[in-house]
Structure 1
């Protein structure tokens, strides 16, 4: 069974020990929005393994002289980059999925602007003034 790094399982005292910090520091970071743990019933904080890793990263940046506002901005930008990388991956997969069948498809465009996908070797059903767009498989 795999361990879910996003599962909120640590109470604040355990997370503070794992991150080698004082629990009050974790509360301050939560108020500032640097690391925002989940909330359990009763509003107690629950930290995940990912939260603990983020706390360690905040501590490292702080020790290197980066201000808390600077750290917050760095984390925001890292999250934005990660989200954009995920989106690029999704779009690349979508493009790959769409490109493969496109090479084998033909489209007809009617005078009303409607576009219909046709099977190879087939013509539009009704005799209209439709324009058929065709792309050869291997142009040479």
Structure 2
């Protein structure tokens, strides 16, 4: 693809990008990626040797973090918003499962 990302049937959660590539693709510096990880905002996969591997899902999360920071939200607020968004996704999935059981 033109943006340097892999094409084809790739699991969006599978870590494939080294930290330098993730930094380039996301526009976020390497040190900031490490900082986000220390804060628990990001949890890239690690190889057996400890090398970080970022996924497409990680890049999407970085974009969301960037949007929130761009809107003036501090990193503590970003963590809270991301947690609430994840909880909403979980609840929506639960509702969908319950509805499908009832035949709705």
CA distance in 2, matches of 1:33, 1:82: 19
Measured in 1, the distance between the counterparts of 2:60 and 2:52 equals: 16
Greater relative contact order (CA < 8 Å, ≥ 6 in sequence): 2
Q: Where do 4+ consecutive residues of structure 1 move more than 3 Å?
A: none
The answer for unaligned runs of 5 or more in structure 2 is 1-7
Deviations 1:76-110 (A, max 9, x none): 000000011111111111122xx9xxxxxxxxxxx
**Structure with higher strand content:** 1
**TM-score normalised by length of structure 1:** 0.65
> In terms of mean alpha carbon deviation, does 22-31 or 38-47 score higher?
38-47
2:101 is the counterpart of 1:86: no
The size of the alignment, in residue pairs, is: 97
Unaligned runs of 5+ residues in structure 1 are 100-140
Measured in 1, the distance between the counterparts of 2:26 and 2:16 equals 14
- Bigger radius of gyration: 1
Corresponding residue for 1:121? none
TM-score (norm 2): 0.87
